[in-house]
């Protein structure tokens, strides 16, 4: 069953229930008040007769006036022996309600007498002071008007209720249709997107954005956008990987071809093949680390790492790497310990340091530093290199991103994966990797890592930048 039909059914069912309860209440109240009125009339008449009846040796005697009541009240007076003493209508001599005659106390009942629906009050006549029941009187009033009123009310309630329920169902159906129409459009567009395989399409927002459907459309469009971005990233990633693998593969194939033509092994060609194979191996390893880190599945050792020792090691290695070309310095050196994977953290710092050395021109300076900022440790790698333009900064942690794509790199790496890996490894350590750069003046990368233990013993000195929130 469709949602629209279900809503309409519920709507109509609830209204039917409410109307039924209301109808029953109205019907019962009206009947009760009409019957009460008749009962009151019967009661008054009964009182009149009761006062008038006389007991004689021969039985009960009633003055004729006592039965001169309103036309709507019929009276029968029976003596204790069951003989009719008097009645004010000429009807067969049987009690209006024979079933109640034997009762010792006054009671109301309903009965059919000669085809007429009657309200009957049976009243025992008691002699004073001895209290003996000397007869019974029955007063009756026709219930024709009550029956007619009830019948009319029933017809009004039933027909009115039916019309109301039908109307409600109709209104419910149209309202539900109008409310669900935008949903149908959403479904239609979603199907078109699937059929056309076109994730760039969006569902147009009609109606208020705060409404249920509006929010659904916005959420759906956001999902589409995210999916589109994901597919685009995936596509770019594949294209980048293929591109990065093509160059070493071409070199390897070229050298193999050359050797085949020469008919002998050539050391230079073998060296080239070896170095390109190494490059491919590194690339594949990097991609593996990156995908693992991105999905949070990078296996990490969790041990106490003395960051100051680690920074010192990276400093020594950087000096070797920089040779005489660039000066590598050690700046502020606080003491800090973090919980993490020593090798991976070293990989991050070496990556940043080797980038700094590589991009800094001859005569420049690269400075490593470790500062303690509250609960955080901050390792900085600053250089006096060319800097990175502001518009490039948001992208430099993306996979395969290079600021100057045509810039030829020498030596190891160069695929544009180093910073992505550093970023994700830092993230895997619950830390953050930040960059600040000014074109022409240099770049500073900051690795923020949460300290294990109680943090700095001394207040932070000479550090800039606010520590991230844990």
Q: How far is the CB of 357 from ligand ADP (least distance, A)?
A: 8
Q: How far is the CB of 248 from ligand ADP (least distance, A)?
A: 15
12 interacts with ligand ADP by CB under 6 A:
no
Q: Figure out which of the listed residues 142, 414, 455, 460 binds ligand ADP, where binding follows CB under 6 A.
A: 414
Minimal CB distance residue for ligand ADP:
418
Query: How far is CA 285 from each of CA 240, 265, 386, rounded to the nearest angstrom?
Result: 15, 29, 29
Considering beta carbons, is residue 122 or 355 the nearer one to ligand ADP? 355
Q: How far is the CB of 320 from ligand ADP (least distance, A)?
A: 18
Q: Figure out which of the listed residues 402, 427, 430, 436 binds ligand ADP, where binding follows CB under 6 A.
A: 402
Q: Figure out which of the listed residues 11, 74, 315, 359 binds ligand ADP, where binding follows CB under 6 A.
A: 359
Considering beta carbons, is residue 27 or 397 the nearer one to ligand ADP? 397
Which runs of E-coded beta strand occur in 90-187? Answer: 107-113, 116-126, 133-142
Considering beta carbons, is residue 189 or 382 the nearer one to ligand ADP? 382
443 interacts with ligand ADP by CB under 6 A:
yes
Considering beta carbons, is residue 87 or 420 the nearer one to ligand ADP? 420
Residue 379 CB partners (closer than 8 Å, separation 6+): 307, 311, 349, 368, 369, 370, 446, 447, 449
Q: Figure out which of the listed residues 8, 355, 367, 426 binds ligand ADP, where binding follows CB under 6 A.
A: 355
Q: How far is the CB of 250 from ligand ADP (least distance, A)?
A: 20
Q: With contacts defined by CB under 6 A, how many residues of the chain interact with ligand ADP?
A: 21
431 interacts with ligand ADP by CB under 6 A:
no
Half-sphere exposure at residue 431, Cβ-oriented, CA atoms within 13 angstroms: 27
**CA 372, CA 334: separation in Å to the nearest integer?**
6
**Nearest partner of 32 among 103, 119, 121, 156, judged by Cα:** 119
Peptide bond into 181 cis (omega under 30): no
**What are the DSSP calls for 263-288, one per residue?**
TS--HHHHHHHHHHHHHHHHHHHHHH
385 interacts with ligand ADP by CB under 6 A:
yes
Q: Figure out which of the listed residues 224, 419, 449, 456 binds ligand ADP, where binding follows CB under 6 A.
A: 419
**Nearest partner of 90 among 100, 76, 69, judged by Cα:** 76
Find residue 275's DSSP bridge partners: none
Tokens of 89: 């209508």
427 interacts with ligand ADP by CB under 6 A:
no
Q: Figure out which of the listed residues 273, 356, 368, 379 binds ligand ADP, where binding follows CB under 6 A.
A: 356
Considering beta carbons, is residue 67 or 381 the nearer one to ligand ADP? 381
**CA 196, CA 198: separation in Å to the nearest integer?**
5
Q: Are strands 107-113 and 116-126 parallel, antiparallel or unpaired?
A: antiparallel
Considering beta carbons, is residue 82 or 389 the nearer one to ligand ADP? 389
Residue 176 CB partners (closer than 8 Å, separation 6+): 3, 4, 7, 8
189 interacts with ligand ADP by CB under 6 A:
no
Considering beta carbons, is residue 168 or 421 the nearer one to ligand ADP? 421
403 interacts with ligand ADP by CB under 6 A:
yes
Q: Figure out which of the listed residues 372, 377, 388, 467 binds ligand ADP, where binding follows CB under 6 A.
A: 388
Question: 414: exposed, middle or buried (C-beta count within 10 Å: 0-12, 13-18, 19+)?
Answer: middle
Considering beta carbons, is residue 121 or 388 the nearer one to ligand ADP? 388
Tokens of 1: 């069953």
Binding site for ligand ADP (CB under 6 A): 355-356, 359, 383, 385-386, 388, 396, 401-404, 413-420, 443
């Amino acid at each position: 069953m469709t949602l629209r039909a279900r809503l309409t059914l519920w709507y109509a069912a609830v209204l039917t229930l409410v109307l039924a309860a209301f109808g029953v209440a109205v019907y019962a109240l009206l009947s009760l008040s009409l019957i009460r009125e008749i009962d009151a009339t019967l009661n008054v008449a009964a009182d009149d007769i009761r006062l008038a009846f006389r007991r004689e040796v021969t039985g009960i005697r009633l003055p004729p006036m006592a039965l001169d009541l309103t036309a709507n009240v019929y009276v029968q007076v029976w003596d204790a022996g069951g003989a009719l003493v008097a009645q004010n209508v000429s009807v067969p001599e049987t009690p209006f309600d024979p079933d109640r005659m034997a009762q010792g106390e006054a009671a109301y009942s309903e009965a059919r007498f000669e085809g007429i629906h009657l309200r009957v009050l049976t009243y025992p006549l008691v002699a004073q002071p001895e209290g003996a029941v000397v007869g019974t009187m029955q007063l009756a009033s026709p219930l024709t008007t009550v029956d007619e009123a009830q019948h009319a009310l029933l017809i009004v309630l039933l027909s009115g209720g039916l019309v109301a329920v039908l109307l409600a169902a109709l209104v419910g159906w149209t309202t539900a249709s109008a409310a669900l129409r935008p949903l149908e459009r959403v479904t239609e567009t979603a199907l078109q997107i699937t059929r056309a395989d076109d994730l760039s399409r969006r569902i147009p927002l009609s109606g208020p954005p705060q409404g249920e459907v509006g929010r659904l459309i916005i959420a759906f469009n956001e999902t589409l956008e995210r999916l589109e971005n994901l597919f685009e990233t995936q596509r770019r990633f594949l294209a980048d990987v293929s591109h990065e693998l093509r160059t070493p593969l071409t070199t390897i194939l070229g050298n193999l071809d050359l050797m085949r033509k020469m008919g002998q092994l050539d050391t230079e060609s073998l060296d080239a093949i070896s170095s390109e194979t190494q490059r491919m191996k590194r690339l594949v390893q990097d991609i593996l680390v990156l995908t693992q880190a991105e999905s949070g599945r990078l296996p990490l050792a969790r041990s106490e790492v003395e960051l100051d020792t680690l920074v010192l090691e990276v400093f020594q290695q950087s000096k070797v790497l920089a040779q005489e070309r660039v000066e590598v310095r050690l700046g502020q050196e606080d003491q800090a310990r973090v919980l993490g994977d020593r090798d991976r953290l070293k990989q991050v710092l070496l990556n940043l340091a080797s980038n700094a050395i590589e991009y800094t021109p001859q005569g420049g300076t690269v400075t490593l530093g470790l500062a303690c900022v509250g609960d955080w440790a901050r390792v900085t790698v600053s250089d006096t290199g060319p800097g990175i333009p502001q518009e490039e900064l948001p992208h430099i942690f993306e996979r395969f991103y290079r600021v100057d794509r045509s810039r030829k790199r020498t030596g190891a790496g160069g695929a544009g994966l180093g910073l992505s890996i550093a970023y994700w490894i830092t993230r895997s350590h619950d830390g953050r990797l930040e960059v600040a750069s000014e074109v022409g003046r240099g770049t500073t990368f900051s690795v923020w890592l949460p300290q294990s233990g109680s943090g700095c013993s001394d207040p932070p000195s000479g550090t800039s930048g606010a520590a991230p929130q844990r």
